[in-house]
Structure 1
Amino acid sequence: MSDVKELNPDAAASLNGLYRRYSGWLEKRLRGRVGIDEADDVVQETYLRLTPYLLEDIRHPKALLLRVALNLVRDEHRRLVRRDRALQGEAPILGTAADAPVDRLHLKQILQTMPPLYRDVFVLSRFDGMTYAEIALAHGISLATVERRMAKAVEHCMAQLDV
């Protein structure tokens, strides 16, 4: 049985009408913050987040659309900052305050010696908490490729740790 849910026809019509009416406005509002290409993606994701709502349930559509879109932009920015910090060894990667700085330094060195394709998948999974499916979708690769790269990344870590 599939876990894909059929969208209620009323909700689909409602969402379509909302999109046609406000997508251009929302994209213009976002362009200054994130750029043209990113604005298109945020607009699409915003409407996906609104699929459970019916148009008549939304009192202030512009306010809701802008709030959801800005939350998406903020969440993406935070994710990228966490990822960059992890790659640079600045984040508290190992999880507890008792972790020795030597361990963090060693982990940073391991990450820096890892091939970029493997490192990206590893960091997204282990530090950003993304699922393999989310990583595959974000990078436009198959789930099997994500699994293979993650296995290679873990293998690299194990080899560096002499385990």
Structure 2
Amino acid sequence: MSAKLEESNRQLEYISYHDNLTGLYNRHYFLTTFNHLFNDMQRQSHDASLMLIDIDFFKQINDKYGHNAGDEALTHLGKLLKKAIRSGDVPARWGGEEFVVLMPSTTENDVKQVAERLIQNIESYQFPIIAKLTVSIGVSQFRADDTIKTWLERTDKALYQAKEQGRNRIRYSA
């Protein structure tokens, strides 16, 4: 009986921390972890990067192919994201078709390599039903004067610059 209870508790914990579609962490878990790691970064002045990823024209995918195809694309993108990042990075589904990755102990050069690898892997991937999709990525580095809010806002601004400048690209915050 105890083994069954332990397994049920493990399953409940997994469900409470993960997005059921992509298998990535959910927003709640991400924000909790982000807060904890952010406090460590401030105390110890570590390099770190933040990446926001948005699927380009996702509404058109759902409209043209249906929501099941959109869900399938999200699932596959989650797998590609997991393969592109390093162990110790914290990937999550931010909401809808947006994803976020906190990358502790990451220089600007490190995050550029990961973002470029992700863009290339997605461009060359054959997604079921829809075949191709692209993403826009916003990236920023941790600054000593950041708050969680300002860091997220700066990264989000870089993401919107990528979208405004044609999509399927990476933009780095100033």
- Say whether the fold is shared (TM-score over 0.5): no
Give the TM-score of the pair, scaled to structure 2.
0.29
Q: Which of these two proteins has the greater Rg computed from alpha carbons?
A: 1
TM-score (norm. length: structure 1): 0.30
- Comparing both structures, which one devotes a greater share of its residues to helix? 1
Q: Higher strand proportion, which one?
A: 2
